[in-house]
Structure 1
Amino acid sequence: MGQRDPRIDAYIAGSADFARPILTHLRELVHAACPDCEEALKWSAPSFTYRARILCSMAAFKKHAAFGLWQGAMVMGSLGRKPDTAMGQFGRLTGVADLPGKRELTGYIRQAMKLIEEGVKRAPAKGGKPRPPEAPADLMAALGKNPAARAAFDAFPPSAKREYVEWITEARREETRAKRLVQAVEWMSEGKRRNWKYENC
């Protein structure tokens, strides 16, 4: 039987009111479709693994939730929504009704399981190496005053740089942004990524 992770319970409980029913529905549906799946937190979001490989994941944001199959492009092909609408293949979810029906979604999950069973690897992203994000001027200025932090930032892969850039630029208030800048530089001076707390979970 699959394994449940209490951190997923906490994640769902801490999500916005609209998101909790969506995440609960998805969680139960994934376990019903794949009884041997195991839960984990990956990139700070609930994920489900099957035979030690990622099967799918879900996440809650301020105004929407998202769900995606790790090999969604191979499972859904052109049926999947555009990747810029939200994480995953099902767009911005604001209610359970935004998802396909139980039978359809179960079919997608089982197709993804079959790919894992057959040893099919996820296709590499098109376009070669991901481009590093455009760092804001205030971040670059702060890094310029701390050589250790700047060296760590420069050595990070694009995904790690993007996590810091998005965290800082998504701050709504100037005070919040300033605090995040200070915290980011401190963590980077210690060689830490933005989500370092979760990397060894």
Structure 2
Amino acid sequence: MEKNKSVEEFISKKDPWKKELELLRSIILTTELEETVKWGMPVYTLNNKNVVGIGAFKSYVGIWFYNGVFLQDDQKKLINAQEGKTKGLRQWRFSTIEEIDRELVLQYVKEAAQNQKDGKEVKPGKIKDIPMPEDLKEAFISNETLKKAFDNLPPYKQKEYIEHIATAKREATRISRLEKITPMILQGIGLSDKYR
């Protein structure tokens, strides 16, 4: 498999975890998964579907499985990093290079790839209804063009904007956020588009 230069750059900046990341990468590259970068991190895909990713944090280096909930995990290596939030994603963390068992990691990665081929994936849940904040309602009443642009956004982008305004506790923050997002809505840009 051809190595991705962006992944090499990512790893080169990850002291003190370079060796661990290189080892994990070398294991994954022995499989059929394609190497890419998403959200600034190395991600390995099959038919454009995310299967595994690798990353380094302060106290550990890890591999995550996007649909890890379907893995056998007989060795009890996987954790749910955000209990109650993530449904399918599971992580395997390492704090030293000695903890990385090449054969075992490969076994997990191959199983994850097979699960993807078999169509085992967590489907996104239904978007919860969040009440429209009053500030946003008022903005739509006073600016019909803004309302039309908002209605043309996909539901997930609408939800991001609604949450962005609704989570501001102070009125000044809500007003400031509304001023910031108005041109984005008019351009059809989602709040998190730059991260996608």
TM-score by length of 2: 0.61
- Paired residues in the alignment total 186
Distance 1:53 1:135 in 2: 33
Distance 1:54 1:175 in 2: 40
Give 5+ residue unaligned stretches, structure 2.
Answer: none
Equivalent position of 1:33 in the other structure? 28
Give 5+ residue unaligned stretches, structure 1.
Answer: 14-18
Letter in 1 for 2:4: R
1:55 aligns with 2:28: no
3-state SS of 2:127 partner: coil
3-state SS of 1:90 partner: strand
Distance 1:59 1:136 in 2: 37
Q: CA deviation at 1:163?
A: 3.5
3-state SS of 2:69 partner: helix
Equivalent position of 2:156 in the other structure? 159
Check 1:129–1:10 CA distance in 2 against 1; reply closer, same or farther (3 A cut): same
- 2:178 is matched with which residue: 172, 175, 181? 181
Check 1:125–1:190 CA distance in 2 against 1; reply closer, same or farther (3 A cut): same
Q: CA deviation at 1:58?
A: 5.6
Equivalent position of 2:121 in the other structure? 123
Check 1:31–1:146 CA distance in 2 against 1; reply closer, same or farther (3 A cut): farther
- 2:71 is matched with which residue: 69, 72, 75? 75
1:6 aligns with 2:3: no
Letter in 2 for 1:56: V
Q: Which protein is bigger by CA-based radius of gyration? A: 2
Q: For residues 133-189 of structure 1, give each alpha carbon's deviation from its aligned partner in whole angstroms, at most 9, with x where no partner exists.
A: 455444444444433333343444443234335555677998776544322221111
Distance 1:160 1:8 in 2: 33
Check 1:61–1:172 CA distance in 2 against 1; reply closer, same or farther (3 A cut): farther
Check 1:8–1:192 CA distance in 2 against 1; reply closer, same or farther (3 A cut): farther
Distance 1:108 1:137 in 2: 48
3-state SS of 2:71 partner: helix
Equivalent position of 1:97 in the other structure? 95
Distance 2:45 2:20 in 1: 17
Q: CA deviation at 1:193?
A: 1.5
Check 1:52–1:147 CA distance in 2 against 1; reply closer, same or farther (3 A cut): same
Distance 2:28 2:140 in 1: 47
Q: For residues 73-92 of structure 1, give each alpha carbon's deviation from its aligned partner in whole angstroms, at most 9, with x where no partner exists.
A: 2125796545743653239x
TM-score by length of 1: 0.60
